[in-house]
Amino acid sequence: MKLDGKATAAKIKADLTKRVAALKERGVTPGLGTVLVGNDPGSQIYVAGKHRDCAEVGIASIRVDLPASASQADVEAAIDELNASPACTGYIVQLPLPKQLDTMALLERIDPAKDADGLHPVNLGRLVHMVDAPLPCTPHGIVLLLQEYGVPIKGADVVVVGRGITVGRSLGLLLTRRSENATVTLCHTGTHDLAAHVRRADIVVAAAGVPELIKRDMVKPGAAVLDVGVSRVDGKIAGDVALDVAEVAGHLTPNPGGVGPMTRALLLSNVVEAAERGLR
Ligand SMILES: Nc1nc2c(c(=O)[nH]1)N[C@@H](CN(C=O)c1ccc(C(=O)N[C@@H](CCC(=O)O)C(=O)O)cc1)CN2
């Protein structure tokens, strides 16, 4: 069965549209800021999509685009401005950043209360402690997509492939909370015999950025497979999951149309929640 991220994201956005209207009635217009540095084609598409989504649900947009040559000080100045701007409820720095920039230092500079990505160390620390915080968007979207389609998470063996900060590491934290209670194995480039790990998984999340890394013969029949891969080959998206995995998987995300739209919907959700939190 298809894990339809586009349809599930549309439901989330319909709910957010109502919540944004309620906020506006109380005199608050939530605003999402984005900081995009450089011309990475994928990043440009994702940022444009985030602003289209904002318009759809009534969130205001603040877009800061800097050249690929931007210095650490240039990006810091953009961050400081968004931290101070009353129009900006939450914002993100689009990743990856050009090589000359210190990503960690920039993420740390974001006001944790405006961290729409849930990637500030304070918010990731709150996730470790399992206290209320904005959750990283892709992992949260993955959990909601599994729940929407009734894929059992409690007690499931989950194999996550890829240890990046936006997906792999934080997904392990989310899925091992008591409310989810999955058993998670985090695989990466140093994993011996990846196929053996994947083969025993009830749920496979492929977030390595390696096209077709997960092959049909690595997947347990009936497993749920989520493809987070966003590599581009000849201008087209190449996922981490081979197409013929559909022949064995019990549930599978399309790509595009699977995890990507969920990531964007949960970003909007973090902005709306930050605005609601400000009224409490
Ligand atoms: N600051 C962040 N940077 C990045 C994140 C993130 O969560 N925060 N994640 C990824 C990219 N990403 C979000 O920014 C992202 C990836 C994919 C999509 C998406 O909607 N994809 C569409 C297809 C769009 C296309 O045509 O390429 C889909 O899957 O249907 C949205 C966001 C790295 N950086």
Catalytic-labelled residue, pool 13, 50, 114, 220: 50
Predicted local confidence at residue 198, as pLDDT: 98
Is 64 annotated as a binding-site member? no
Segments of 89-169 assigned E as strands: 90-93, 157-161
Catalytic-labelled residue, pool 94, 202, 227, 240: 94
Q: How confident is the model at residue 148 (pLDDT cuts 50, 70, 90)?
A: very high
Predicted local confidence at residue 209, as pLDDT: 96
Q: What is the mean pLDDT of residues 96-102?
A: 98
- Is residue 226's pLDDT more than 90? yes
Q: Is the dihedral of CA 111, 114, 118, 124 positive or negative?
A: positive
Give the atom of ligand 1 at the shortest distance from the alpha carbon of 136: 7
- 94 classed as catalytic: yes
Predicted local confidence at residue 58, as pLDDT: 98
Nearest to 263 by CA among 29, 45, 60: 45
Predicted local confidence at residue 61, as pLDDT: 97
Structure-token pair, residue 260: 């990507």
d(CA 204, CA 213): 12
Q: What is the mean pLDDT of residues 145-154?
A: 98
| Ligand 1 centroid from CA 131, angstroms | 26
Nearest to 47 by CA among 99, 117, 114: 117
- 111 classed as catalytic: no
- 202 classed as catalytic: no
Q: How confident is the model at residue 20 (pLDDT cuts 50, 70, 90)?
A: very high
- Is residue 183's pLDDT more than 90? yes
- Write b or e for each residue in 233-269: b if 16 or more Cβ atoms lie within 10 A of its Cβ, otherwise e: eeeebbbbbbeebeebbbbbbbbebbbbbbbbbbbbb
- Is residue 279's pLDDT more than 90? no
Phi first, then psi, for residue 263 (nearest 5°) are: -55, -45
Residue 91 bridge partners (DSSP): 33, 115
d(CA 88, CA 60): 8
pTM above 0.95, yes or no: yes
Domains in the chain, CATH or no CATH each = 26-111 (3.40.50.10860), 137-259 (3.40.50.720)
pLDDT in tens, 193-209: 999 999 999 999 999 99
- Is residue 280's pLDDT more than 90? no
d(CA 56, CA 160): 32
Ligand 1 interacting residues, C-beta cut-off 6 A: 45-46, 49, 92-95, 117, 137-138, 166, 230, 237, 255-257, 260-261, 263-264
Residue nearest to atom 31 of ligand 1 (CA): 260
Alpha carbon of 124 to those of 106, 117, 120, 169: distances in Å? 15, 10, 6, 10
Is 163 annotated as a binding-site member? yes
- Is residue 234's pLDDT more than 90? no
Is 239 annotated as a binding-site member? no
Predicted local confidence at residue 235, as pLDDT: 83
Predicted local confidence at residue 245, as pLDDT: 98
Q: What is the mean pLDDT of residues 137-149?
A: 98
SS3 231: strand
Is 230 annotated as a binding-site member? yes
Q: What is the mean pLDDT of the chain?
A: 97
